[in-house]
Structure 1
């Protein structure tokens, strides 16, 4: 008698398009933290999905699709979002933010817990690296949070987790340094390093307006630079 037939699951990696922002999933549900700046209540936030769709459209027109979504049997199981710094308005709130608007930034990456053990985090980051290399980018930057950054927004990964995934300090800061990953290294990223980064980047709130805070740690950028 023949033994049981192993079921082969079909995994597809698709580009992030405006109509697919609804598939950004799990604890990393659609969030507009990096795509917006605080406005102190002077105007209401648009619907997050609408804002994200418009953002994806703008980045695509200027640079190209800003990420990838992975589907298994047609259901989304993970995603990664990258974009040039000029399309990440929240960076203006960070003293260590890049001065070059073309600097490529890692915005978010997440995978469902059920898919992490199947190499999905590694596949996501490698897909992002290949996209970036096609655009002649040799590195990928990210803002990380140090332990001194108390109560930081959950969209900001811990710097230690980024370093564990192969990122290195590009510009130091006591609370929010900027780190950089050599994209050639990302293509050979270890599974455990990708898993660590995926977990660090997955702690994003459910869909809701961005909290009204003038700066991630409650201070203006000028005060951070002055050390006050």
Structure 2
């Protein structure tokens, strides 16, 4: 099974799930988003936002492919590019952070670590650009397996907590969470060190024996 990560571009935009491809929840203020959905073309508005953000700020999303199939994505940008970011009871986003707006892993590929891999890719990108932290509005008590449109284009708070975010402002529905990028970038080195240590403790003969299945929490 091969995995590949790419930047969100006007070409790869077409590989977002249909509901997300036409969603302008974050990209427009609430009134403009309502007008676009009622009388306009939200897909065109989404394309225009991606085009402008890429031109003015740079990469604003990552997509994951498994064996060539679109399997998941995340999107992110400075709050200034996201009018909806001021509409939450836990707003505003910290001045030193970029907002991770939404993310989703397609159901057949869920549970395989793609979400963590996507967040790591965002962390590496933003660190190179001098950003100190990622923040996100998570939805509390999200139904398991809910599609993005069913939860207001927010990822579950539990997902963010599971990949290293910490809650910086509590709320019963939409807590704001934060990930310091130096913490995020330590994941990869920690995993590589653990794997190297494990392999180094094995003899060549043991590496050739069938693996024993281990149950983990």
> Is this a same-fold pair by TM over 0.5?
yes
Structure 1 residue 34 corresponds to structure 2 residue 26: yes
Deviations 1:66-97 (A, max 9, x none): 01112234321111111111111111212322
1: CA distance, partners of 2:99 / 2:158 = 17
Structure 1 residue 77 corresponds to structure 2 residue 75: no
Match of 2:89 among 87, 95, 100: 95
Which of the two has higher C-alpha Rg?
Answer: 2
The aligned residue for residue 219 of structure 1 is: none
> What 5-or-longer segments of structure 2 have no aligned partner?
142-149, 192-217
Q: Which has the higher contact order (CA 8 A, sep 6+)?
A: 1
Structure 1 residue 86 corresponds to structure 2 residue 80: yes
Distance verdict in 2 for CA 1:76–1:51, change over 3 Å: same
> What 5-or-longer segments of structure 1 have no aligned partner?
1-8, 192-228
Deviations 1:91-126 (A, max 9, x none): 121232226566301111112233234432222111
Greater fraction helix: 2
Kindly report the root-mean-square deviation, in angstroms, between the aligned alpha carbons of the 2 structures. Answer: 3.0
Tell me the TM-score normalised to structure 2 length. 0.69
In the TM superposition, what is the alpha-carbon distance from 1:38 to its structure 2 partner?
1.9
Match of 1:59 among 6, 30, 53: 53
1: CA distance, partners of 2:134 / 2:165 = 9
Contact 1:143–1:177 under 8 Å retained in 2: yes
Match of 1:180 among 174, 178, 181: 178
| Partner-residue secondary structure (3-state), 1:98 | coil
Question: Matches of residues 1-228 of structure 1 in structure 2 within 5 Å?
Answer: 9-25=1-17, 30-39=22-31, 43-45=35-37, 46-98=40-92, 103-146=97-140, 153-187=151-185, 188=187
Q: Which runs of 4+ in 1 moved over 6 A?
A: none
In the TM superposition, what is the alpha-carbon distance from 1:146 to its structure 2 partner?
4.4
Distance verdict in 2 for CA 1:73–1:180, change over 3 Å: same
Distance verdict in 2 for CA 1:114–1:89, change over 3 Å: same
Contact 2:137–2:177 under 8 Å retained in 1: yes
Distance verdict in 2 for CA 1:175–1:72, change over 3 Å: closer
| Partner-residue secondary structure (3-state), 1:17 | coil
Deviations 1:11-56 (A, max 9, x none): 3211101222121127755422111222289844332321221111
Tell me the TM-score normalised to structure 1 length. 0.66
In the TM superposition, what is the alpha-carbon distance from 1:10 to its structure 2 partner?
3.6
Distance verdict in 2 for CA 1:63–1:113, change over 3 Å: same
| Partner-residue secondary structure (3-state), 1:65 | coil
